[in-house]
């Protein structure tokens, strides 16, 4: 449930000023709300306050604070907007530390201690921001998986794709891992900037996700998963010569190859050499590129020897899966996009 629009929860409603540095808040009122600009810190003398954070359409309780607890200190120290909302659960009396009192207090302590306090606050804010970015980066794969699942065909006989409503994706991610609306908006922006999806409105005016390139989206999901495990996808370290050879193999296979079990394509080596010559190059296959493909298990070599009245004859056949090689070609196209770092 959102706190927005609740007249009985208005900030300052039910507040009594005992003196400049002491206030009384009635049960059910708000001391401050997330996102507002205010610079007071509060020390609870009596009562109970809960700290809330808005996550999409949901409000999450972060903590409950009683006498002796401090809240609102970050906004006092670095003048940034409130990062959460404080709601009064019981009649509460607080001591208010405003900028003037805080400045006078700082004058009475050594400069090094004041500087240290400010440094600690900055590091805390930076850590919170970094943790937020880490959550976004680690959650992109999960969001992609949800989007792909929610937009699969309804049945094998029905090729129509379902709409992945933005609100439905947000509900799923919040239920699964507690990912909030702001983090999800950053993930959507991340994927939009990488030209992988768009957000549009349907006839009912509801936002839905439009996938621009489903194979590329799946490839990015594989890329993220592999890198999170500390690995790389096959093809990330390939040279230009290896990618050139892949394109030659695919074209030669299309022209002169023959099918084999397990979706493999068979093509004789001299046919690949003919394709190289047709492209205007020499007829010699780049052996380094050939080795890179065989070591990556994307290509297998088969030696055939025959005997005739003219003697022994050798023939070498190349075997590969065209679909896998097409994915590697796609990786070459998308790799600069996948690697591009996006900061929020």
Domain ranges for the chain: 7-108, 128-231, 240-333
Ramachandran category for residue 298: left, alpha or beta (phi over 0 → left; psi -120 to 50 → alpha): alpha
Ramachandran angles phi, psi of 7, nearest 5°: -65, -30
* Model pLDDT for residues 103-150, shown as the tens digit of each residue: 777 777 777 766 766 666 566 555 545 544 454 556 788 888 888 887
pTM over 0.95: no
* Model pLDDT for residues 262-305, shown as the tens digit of each residue: 678 898 888 888 889 888 877 788 999 999 999 999 999 988 76
Choose among 263, 262, 267: nearest CA to 250.
Answer: 267
pLDDT of amino acid 295 = 94
**How distant, in Å, are the alpha carbons of 100, 153, 154, 162, 296 from that of 159?**
67, 5, 7, 10, 35
Q: What is the dotted CATH code of the domain comprising 128-231? A: 1.10.10.10
Q: 189, 196 in Cβ contact below 8 A?
A: no
β-strand partners of 90: 48
**Mean predicted confidence (pLDDT) in 151-167:** 62
Burial class (CB in 10 A: 0-12, 13-18, 19+), 104: exposed
pLDDT of amino acid 8 = 44
Query: Comparing 128-231 with 240-333, is the CATH topology the same?
Result: yes
* Model pLDDT for residues 88-107, shown as the tens digit of each residue: 999 999 999 888 887 777 77
pLDDT of amino acid 344 = 53
Sorting pLDDT into bands at 50, 70 and 90, what band is 250? Answer: very high
pLDDT of amino acid 4 = 45
Q: Say which CATH architecture domain 240-333 belongs to.
A: Orthogonal Bundle (1.10)
**What is the chain's length?**
344
Q: Which residue has the tokens 């230009």?
A: 240
pLDDT of 16 over the 70 cut: no
Looking at domain 7-108, its CATH superfamily turns out to be Jelly Rolls (2.60.120.10)
Lowest-confidence region among 13-17, 256-260, 328-332? 13-17
177 vs 97: CA distance, rounded Å: 37
* H, E, C per residue of the chain: CCCCCCHHHCECCCEEEEECCEEEECCCCEEECCCCCCCCEEEEEEEEEEEEEEECCEEEEEEEECCCCEECHHHHHHCCCCCCEEEEEEEEEEEEECHHHHHHHHHCCCHHHHHHHHHHHHHHHHHHHHHHHHHHHHHHHHHHHHHHHHCCEEECCEEEECCEEHHHHHHHHHHHHCCCHHHHHHHHHHHHHCCCEEEEECCCCCEEEEECCHHHHHHHHHHHHHHHCCCCCCCCCCCHHHHHHHHHHHHHHHHHCEEECCCEEEEEHHHHHHHHHHCCCCCCCCHHHHHHHHHCCCCEEEEEEEEECCEEEEEEEEEECHHHHHHHHHHHHHHHHHHCCCCC
120 vs 71: CA distance, rounded Å: 16
Q: Which residue has the tokens 């009635």?
A: 26
pLDDT of amino acid 342 = 67
pLDDT of amino acid 87 = 92
* Model pLDDT for residues 173-230, shown as the tens digit of each residue: 776 666 666 777 888 888 898 899 999 988 888 888 889 888 999 999 999 888 888 8
């Amino acid at each position: 449930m959102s706190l927005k629009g609740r007249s009985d929860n208005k900030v300052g409603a039910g507040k009594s000023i005992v003196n400049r540095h002491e206030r009384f808040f009635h049960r059910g009122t708000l001391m401050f709300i997330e996102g507002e600009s205010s610079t007071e810190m509060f020390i609870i003398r009596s009562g109970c306050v809960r700290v809330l954070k808005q996550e999409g359409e949901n409000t999450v309780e972060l903590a409950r604070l009683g006498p002796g607890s401090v809240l609102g200190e970050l906004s006092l120290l670095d003048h940034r907007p409130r990062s959460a909302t404080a709601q009064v659960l019981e009649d509460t009396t607080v001591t208010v530390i405003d900028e003037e009192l805080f400045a006078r207090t700082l004058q009475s302590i050594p400069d090094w201690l004041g500087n240290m306090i400010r440094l600690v606050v900055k590091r805390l804010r930076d850590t919170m921001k970094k943790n937020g970015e880490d959550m976004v980066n680690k959650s992109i794969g999960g969001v992609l998986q949800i989007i792909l699942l929610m937009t699969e065909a309804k049945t094998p006989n029905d090729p129509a794709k379902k709409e992945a409503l933005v609100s439905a994706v947000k509900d799923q991610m919040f239920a699964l891992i507690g990912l909030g609306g702001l983090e999800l908006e950053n993930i959507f922006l991340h994927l939009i900037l990488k030209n992988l999806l768009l957000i549009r409105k349907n006839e009912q005016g509801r936002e839905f996700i439009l996938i621009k390139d489903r194979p590329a989206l799946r490839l990015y999901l594989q890329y993220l998963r592999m890198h999170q495990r500390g690995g790389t996808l096959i093809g990330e370290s390939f040279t230009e010569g290896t990618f050139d050879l892949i394109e030659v193999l695919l074209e030669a296979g299309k022209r002169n190859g023959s099918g084999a079990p397990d979706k493999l394509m068979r093509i004789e080596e001299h046919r690949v050499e003919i394709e190289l010559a047709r492209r205007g190059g020499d007829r010699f296959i780049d052996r380094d590129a050939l080795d890179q493909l065989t070591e990556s298990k994307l290509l297998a070599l088969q030696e055939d020897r025959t005997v005739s009245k003219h003697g022994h004859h050798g023939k070498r056949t190349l075997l590969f899966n065209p679909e896998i090689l097409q994915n590697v070609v796609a990786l070459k196209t998308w790799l600069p996009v996948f690697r591009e770092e996006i900061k929020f």
